[in-house]
Structure 1
């Protein structure tokens, strides 16, 4: 029973942590390229560096790492975040980067996602990320409800809510996948171009949703085919589950040990008539 309890806790915590964590990661879509590129505007300096693009639900991260890191008397190691969540101004963050004089490769990649860019992908990335995050929060609420149901002797409904959790996670993946309907403009660095693919957070969310489907499906199937195995796994005795099952009339029947009735076997007649029991005369002296 301790091993079963530990397995239930680990699986539940894993699902909950994944649902929350992937909303703040930046690798739902990722790509990188190694190229010789100009370092800054109005400069002839050329560096060999790895340029990376990491797309999350709330924005992008653009990385620039020199190969080697120390070139032209500078340390080339940048990781800049540009947010597009509701309440954030992506274009303003891009203008601030221009004023700071960030390297040209970072500004070139970030410019592709501005509202004035000919690529016209800013709104789609922003809206898709917003709805993907919203459905993930709904999945988190369904996960909380499933845990509460699993802690009570209504295991089959906990299995149903696990299925609902997986369904909303799939909805989140579908929302983010709609970005692929309008491909990003080519990000070209000389003879090579930067292409993106689905990242670790996307595949981790997909694997977690399949795990929710597996858990929910197994619980529902065992509930109808092998209920004793299901009760044993959740450390639930038959009396606890039977106490929650309604009768045909909609009321729960009292359960007691040994099959004995809880009603008194003999009831004085006077108890229903409101009269006191008569006292028998004592023995004569």
Structure 2
């Protein structure tokens, strides 16, 4: 069914999932590949060190994949309501459907799923993405949706986030998302540094960087939560109201940040209270730690030098005649 000029009367569906998209799947596949690569070398590790290696690798990769993947997820805030609503503008047709709103760092996603899916001789199953990230024009996407004929519930929800909307929340969400993304990338860099430091004899520095990683993840959550300091517009569908709450990505980022703080704190405490157990967990040999203890820094040149045991047999006394 088309108009006389060949244009479809309804907007084709954008097949973009509100939680998982191509970028999310790529990140997860990369980290799963790394995890499987480490699992392949586990049989070559003997004793309890095998379990320690497995725990360290899985926890570290979990933290890394969470930091990266939450950039692309669309459920930092979510809401859903079931209501009877007009299906199309300038039409008396009404449908019973689930309207969902999912907000991420890069934009919003609006879903419309009929109850049942087939109503008024149509399949009601929409999933539309409106982005405000760098290079994306949210208002232009919304205007294109108006021209091509998106269903009325999707346009009604998306209109709340336009720049001309009285709600004036687009700038708040866009700026909060940018700050949250920036702090998460800093956390990712700190996570990389902490992994390098944990492979060195002085483990306490890795603990410090784990604290930095967790702190920046908490900063990201706090940056995003500043949106709630402004009053939000109500989204009503008759007597039903669509209410937005923090989604899975928000709580996952917060929990992972707390996990990093816990790991860093445990490492620092064990470094001072029980360094032998800490070295055993990280599978450090005694030769590595003792060699570091036998080094000192030359205060004149700044070079790391080997300390010499000043035993009496190593010295020969000479008498210089004057």
Which of 158, 169, 177 is equivalent to 2:225?
Answer: 177
Q: State the number of aligned residues.
A: 263
Distance in 2, matches of 1:253 and 1:224, equals 24
Aligned residues of 1:59 and 1:83 also touching (Cα < 8 A):
yes
Aligned residues of 1:29 and 1:196 also touching (Cα < 8 A):
yes
What's 1:109 paired with? 157
Aligned residues of 1:243 and 1:254 also touching (Cα < 8 A):
no
- Structure with bigger gyration radius: 1
Which of 61, 69, 85 is equivalent to 1:21?
Answer: 69
User: Structure 1: which 5+ runs fail to align?
Assistant: 270-285
Q: How far does residue 103 in structure 1 lie from its aligned partner after superposition?
A: 0.3
Q: How far does residue 249 in structure 1 lie from its aligned partner after superposition?
A: 4.5
Normalising by structure 2, report the TM-score. Answer: 0.78
Q: How far does residue 254 in structure 1 lie from its aligned partner after superposition?
A: 5.5
User: Structure 2: which 5+ runs fail to align?
Assistant: 1-48
Aligned residues of 1:28 and 1:56 also touching (Cα < 8 A):
yes
Q: How far does residue 140 in structure 1 lie from its aligned partner after superposition?
A: 0.3
What's 2:189 paired with? 141
Q: Does 1:226 align with 2:279?
A: no
Distance in 1, matches of 2:305 and 2:237, equals 73
What's 1:167 paired with? 215
Distance in 2, matches of 1:243 and 1:26, equals 50
What do you get for the CA RMSD once the two structures are aligned? 2.0
Cα separation, partners in 2 of 1:226 and 1:117, compared to 1, 3 Å? same
Q: How far does residue 265 in structure 1 lie from its aligned partner after superposition?
A: 6.7
Alignment of 1:214-253 (within 5 A): 214-245=262-293, 246-247=295-296, 249=298, 251-253=304-306
Which of 131, 135, 151 is equivalent to 1:87?
Answer: 135
Q: How far does residue 244 in structure 1 lie from its aligned partner after superposition?
A: 2.8
